Structure 1
Amino acid sequence: MLQVLLPVLVSAASAAILSSRQTLSGSTVCEQIAGSINGTVYYPTTLSDNFVNDTEHYMSSSSETPTCVVEVASPEDVSSVLSIVGQTRTPFAIKSGGHASNPGFSSTTGVFISLVRINQVTLSADKSTVEVGLGNVWTDVYTALDGSDVNVVGGRVIGPGVGGFSLGGGYSWLTDQYGLTCDTVQAFNLVLPNGTITQVDSAQSDLFFALKGGLNRFGIVTSIIFKTVPQTNDVYGGIKLYGTDAVPDLITATNTFQDQNTDPKAQVILTLNGGSVPGAILLLFYDGPEEPAAFAPYNNVSAAPLISTVKSQSYASFSTGTDSDLEAGYRGAFHTMMTTSLTTAFLTAVYNETTFYGDLALLNGGNLISYDVEPFLNYGQYATDSAFPHANSPLPLNLYYSWTPETEDEYWRGVMQQSIDHLIEVAKAEGIFTEDAYAYPNYALSTYSGAQLYGPTNAARLREIQATYDPNGVMTLAGGFTF
């Protein structure tokens, strides 16, 4: 946490000293916004907790010091802010949870829009849908729904906000049963770039398609109405932490799980780590109260786990136990590639990357070198018409690197791409890579765009939709992927 706060405090202090050098347009825009909304505007010179907390990100390299923070309180507030920044051509950003790793994607030196006050979780009377404000993180939602016998297809670890996660696609512990999070959306409550407040559902097929994977390019989504799914009182799962001696057996078990599992209620993530914390983390989830037969391959791991939290518990309790914040506060990035399946040779190559680059970490200010292996079944059978193509059920590999010096940003981002390029060649040799397995937007580096994320057909469709609904390019004033 200290690593996050220090840059913000230093920047805020600098802003106080240099406040006379702020552009007139920036301060005037913030004052205009303050007089137009029911929410609150905070400035860096005040050193308020709200300013610091709102601008904080999971990775310190994703944070910037804005001219002001705007805590919007309603869609009407968002409409006012969008109208003002659009008319004045002021750079802005929108933050839901702050897990975006790409600098400038949910941060800015202009107007920073925080959705933290739009945090409703409203279950319909018949429990078939739930409206979730994008100021929530997923654990908020699970806690609110605890004991209701229903759930949503949402995030898997502590930290990610409902907004970026859902608008990027959304892999869930329930994906094998119901698809990605975006496949369960019934409607988006959206403020268009021109300030119009509207609801987007399947009747507006173009925008509905674009918002399912297209992220923040079409306006600002304030809340989402999700289809609910049945949820048992208790689920089985937790974390097992292993040393490096267990990795060969874990690779074998995970490959067997991918090949043999037929139970859509059983899911795992195998995290292979190098650098400061070498070893492996196995996350297990079963949508039921007892250990399933599907997890039997992991009984053959000869090395005992150093720590295990696996037990029967409520979904809300389980969701708070998968803590992704242990390495928060450093500079860092995510990156990704997709495969059609897994093989032992590919998984071994992934582990070799953690050891190779882990050995280089201390020489270049590196901390954690981490690769998440995510097996899935045929979840593409639930795919809807979405910007992010996933009907062929691709398997995401998530890289997470963290480091300390800002001077090493370019080095480590280059290394991550180098690692991805190598693993793509391994996957091709193993017959588990196809050119139409596009990079998952929520994991991809900012160097990717258009066809790399969405494929040429969907990218072209997204450009047309963007031109139709944002002809003045208001949303291009906010950071994000291009089409």
Structure 2
Amino acid sequence: MIWAVLLSIAMAVTLGSANRSTPIGSLEGQLLLNETCRETAAATSDASDVYDVDAKHVAASLNYARAIEHWASSSTQISACSFEPGTAMDVGIALRILGETKTPFAVKGSGHATNPGFSSTTGVQIAMTRFSDIVYNSEARTVTVGTGLIWDDVYAVLEPRGVNVIGGRISGVGVAGLTLGGGYSWLTNQYGLTIDTVQAFELVMPNGTVINVMETSRPDLFFALKVRFYARLCNLIHLFAWRSEQFCIVTRFTLKTSPQTQVWGGLITYAADAAHRVNTATVNFGANSTDPKAVIVTGHAYTLGQLLVTEILFYDAPAPPPGIFDEFLAIPSLIEDSIFNETLVTQTGALNYTSLWHPVFVAYEAEIFLPTLLNHSTTPSRAQPLMPLNIYFAWLSPYSDQLNQDAVRTSARTLQASAMNAGQNDIANAALYPNYAIFDTPLVNMYGANLPSLQAIKAAVDPEDVMGLAGGFML
């Protein structure tokens, strides 16, 4: 069996380059922005704060810097001010002001985005930092979490209770972006994508109204938030993520939990001469594995003039069954970092790419799941189970942006053509995974036949296109 591969383009990351911000603009425009910042500060409650770009106090300056900071320097811009809302009602007040004044803004969850301008702005930066509540309901077996959290925070609270959520696989990934973008997890084979486990959304609509969306109360919005496997119609971000056709801001999710035992897993690093054997083992695993507790990620990284091959092995139990990973373990390795007896492991075997980066870093990661991974929800467009392929480029110089972005696109086209020539014709029009999509990906390539329905919902709930002020992929 040859598995079809979903060729999704990961946005390139620019690291360590000087002054990646966009200029604020004219003096008149700056004065208008400043007035909007002051109006927001005056209108919202004491639970929230506004920090100016030229904050004089050290604490305010640090809070401003934290609010605009992103994991990737290419995604950080110098905003006129930052707004840290403390309540959903204050988010609504700010949205009304921003909409009335036509002020550009952006919404940041954890700041793990890489697409430039998708969670950053030269206008008003909304940072969801204060939405950090985690409330576990043992009777309903759900947890309600704020959209300013990273998954590490959620795992730490749930671990003593012996339960887990279907969340991020590496440390530092944000709750908001991963969920709204779909959310592949170490537990996806067993429970689906993160978006499949959402029971309710707390939303702030463009008119400032705060509502709770469930399938029974607002089926239109519930559909829009979950369509395809991961329709991201709201305005928060994740690793390699984008901010898509928005019509609201999500402030909280209510997620299903599942029992969690100890797990086994780790990272193996091989030399270049092991690549063929690792690739063969990956194909064999994808063709023969039927165990939903077993997941692998095969990576090929090129840096410092060298090719390194990596394999992340994961099993959702204290030890895997005999033989399941033997083909990988039999290949001579450079480094083998197996982790045993962990409970809620998000960074199991996560490769620290930062330590490897050189002027240019290139990596390809094939994520192997069972073909039944999409059987955990009735959301539309799940007939074709495809595996995500993460194409990852990083570089230091901002002058190389266009060159490397074009290289990413060319690489994706080349791989797709090669796969089709090998007989995988079913990927010709396969939907791309939004959380790995580069900034200029056409919406139809992600949502296909669902796009007209999403556009109709967008027009109904945001007729003034307030959320369009935030940039990103637009309906």
TM class by smaller structure:
0.7 to 0.9
What aligned pairs does 1:395-414 form with structure 2 within 5 A after superposition? 395-414=387-406
Deviations 1:426-451 (A, max 9, x none): 11112224234211000001111221
Conserved 8 A contact 1:69-1:111: yes
| Cα distance change on mapping 1:376 and 1:218 into 2, 3 Å | same
Is 1:267 the equivalent of 2:267?
no
The whole-number CA distance in structure 1 between the counterparts of 2:439 and 2:27 is 33
Partner of residue 209 from structure 1, selected from 223, 227, 236: 223
> Aligned residue for 1:237?
265
The whole-number CA distance in structure 1 between the counterparts of 2:264 and 2:289 is 17
Is 1:41 the equivalent of 2:50?
yes
Look up the SS of the partner of 2:154 in the other structure: helix
Is 1:128 the equivalent of 2:128?
no
Is 1:104 the equivalent of 2:117?
yes
Question: Aligned-residue CA RMSD in angstroms?
Answer: 2.4
What aligned pairs does 1:109-120 form with structure 2 within 5 A after superposition? 109-120=122-133
> Aligned residue for 2:308?
279
Conserved 8 A contact 1:54-1:114: yes
Using the TM superposition, give the Cα deviation of residue 398 of structure 1 relative to its aligned residue in structure 2, in angstroms.
Answer: 0.6
Look up the SS of the partner of 1:452 in the other structure: helix
Conserved 8 A contact 1:27-1:67: yes
The whole-number CA distance in structure 1 between the counterparts of 2:356 and 2:148 is 21
> Aligned residue for 2:185?
172
What aligned pairs does 1:210-359 form with structure 2 within 5 A after superposition? 210-212=224-226, 213-215=230-232, 216=234, 217-232=246-261, 234-276=262-304, 278-292=307-321, 293-301=323-331, 303-304=332-333, 306-316=334-344, 318-323=345-350, 326-327=353-354
> Aligned residue for 1:383?
377
1:7 counterpart letter in structure 2: N
Question: 5+ unaligned residues in a row in structure 1: which ranges?
Answer: 331-361
The whole-number CA distance in structure 2 between the counterparts of 1:96 and 1:109 is 17
> Aligned residue for 1:339?
none
> Aligned residue for 1:62?
75
Question: 5+ unaligned residues in a row in structure 2: which ranges?
Answer: 1-13, 235-245
What aligned pairs does 1:431-446 form with structure 2 within 5 A after superposition? 431-432=423-424, 433-446=426-439
Look up the SS of the partner of 2:211 in the other structure: strand
> Aligned residue for 2:163?
150
| Cα distance change on mapping 1:6 and 1:414 into 2, 3 Å | closer
1:371 counterpart letter in structure 2: Y
Decide which moves more: 247-256 or 237-246.
237-246
> Aligned residue for 2:365?
372
Conserved 8 A contact 2:312-2:350: no
Look up the SS of the partner of 1:146 in the other structure: helix
Conserved 8 A contact 2:88-2:204: yes
| Cα distance change on mapping 1:54 and 1:281 into 2, 3 Å | farther
Is 1:73 the equivalent of 2:86?
yes
Conserved 8 A contact 1:127-1:228: no
2:231 counterpart letter in structure 1: G
Is 1:189 the equivalent of 2:202?
yes
| Cα distance change on mapping 1:436 and 1:22 into 2, 3 Å | closer
Conserved 8 A contact 1:138-1:159: yes
Using the TM superposition, give the Cα deviation of residue 299 of structure 1 relative to its aligned residue in structure 2, in angstroms.
Answer: 2.8
| Cα distance change on mapping 1:194 and 1:325 into 2, 3 Å | farther
Using the TM superposition, give the Cα deviation of residue 382 of structure 1 relative to its aligned residue in structure 2, in angstroms.
Answer: 1.3
1:27 counterpart letter in structure 2: N
Using the TM superposition, give the Cα deviation of residue 3 of structure 1 relative to its aligned residue in structure 2, in angstroms.
Answer: 5.3
Identity %, equivalent residues:
38
Using the TM superposition, give the Cα deviation of residue 323 of structure 1 relative to its aligned residue in structure 2, in angstroms.
Answer: 4.4
| Cα distance change on mapping 1:157 and 1:385 into 2, 3 Å | same
Is 1:83 the equivalent of 2:96?
yes
| Cα distance change on mapping 1:71 and 1:329 into 2, 3 Å | farther
Between 1 and 2, higher relative CO (CA 8 Å, sep ≥ 6) is seen in 2
> Aligned residue for 2:239?
none
> Aligned residue for 1:24?
31
Using the TM superposition, give the Cα deviation of residue 275 of structure 1 relative to its aligned residue in structure 2, in angstroms.
Answer: 2.8
The whole-number CA distance in structure 2 between the counterparts of 1:6 and 1:227 is 43
Using the TM superposition, give the Cα deviation of residue 99 of structure 1 relative to its aligned residue in structure 2, in angstroms.
Answer: 1.8
Using the TM superposition, give the Cα deviation of residue 125 of structure 1 relative to its aligned residue in structure 2, in angstroms.
Answer: 3.2
| Cα distance change on mapping 1:398 and 1:420 into 2, 3 Å | same
2:207 counterpart letter in structure 1: N
1:36 counterpart letter in structure 2: A
The whole-number CA distance in structure 1 between the counterparts of 2:356 and 2:451 is 34
Conserved 8 A contact 1:43-1:51: yes
| Cα distance change on mapping 1:183 and 1:78 into 2, 3 Å | same
Using the TM superposition, give the Cα deviation of residue 20 of structure 1 relative to its aligned residue in structure 2, in angstroms.
Answer: 6.3
Look up the SS of the partner of 2:453 in the other structure: helix
Give TM-score scaled by structure 1 length. Answer: 0.85
The whole-number CA distance in structure 2 between the counterparts of 1:280 and 1:54 is 36
Using the TM superposition, give the Cα deviation of residue 21 of structure 1 relative to its aligned residue in structure 2, in angstroms.
Answer: 6.6
Conserved 8 A contact 1:158-1:322: no
The whole-number CA distance in structure 2 between the counterparts of 1:19 and 1:328 is 40
Using the TM superposition, give the Cα deviation of residue 312 of structure 1 relative to its aligned residue in structure 2, in angstroms.
Answer: 1.6
Q: After TM superposition, which residue ranges in structure 1, 4 or more long, deviate above 4 angstroms?
A: 2-6, 18-22, 321-325
Deviations 1:13-66 (A, max 9, x none): x98xx9967622100000111112221111221272222222222211111111
The whole-number CA distance in structure 2 between the counterparts of 1:146 and 1:6 is 41
Conserved 8 A contact 1:192-1:218: yes
